[in-house]
Amino acid sequence: MVALAADLMFASRIRGAAQAVGREVTLATGEAALVAAVRAGASLVLLDLGRRGDMPDLIRRLKEDAATADATIVAFGSHVDAGALTAARAAGADRVMARSAFVKVLPELLTAAGA
């Protein structure tokens, strides 16, 4: 699994949650690193919609590329940024949720991805 977070604090939180359930997560340093990780076999993508860049475009590119289309994309962002959440859903993200909901289900997501 691979994550692209908006900041180092939240990236550390994702890594800590993964370690707590006995999983490893790659923290991508940018879009190119994320795409490379998915092409290398990461089946779960955790995508912070608060990150700079066009996240809906990244989602579309992952879903349209035969080498990355099967990856499950979980996009999360601020509950007040309904536009970003809607755009991620429209772009093809498998799950889209507010950051607070994401934090609550993160251990389940990570456990299920490792099964």
| Spatial CB neighbours of 2, under 8 Å, sequence gap ≥ 6 | 25, 26, 27, 28, 34, 37, 38, 42, 44, 45, 46
How far apart are alpha carbons 40 and 71 in whole angstroms?
A: 11
pTM across the whole model:
0.93
pLDDT category at 8 given cuts 50, 70, 90 is confident
Instruction: Please state the domain extents for the chain.
Output: 27-81+90-101
Does pLDDT of 115 surpass 80? no
How far apart are alpha carbons 4 and 31 in whole angstroms?
A: 8
CATH 3.40.1000.10 describes domain 27-81+90-101 = no
Reported as a single tens digit per residue, the pLDDT across 44-91 is 999 999 988 899 999 999 999 999 999 999 999 999 889 899 999 999
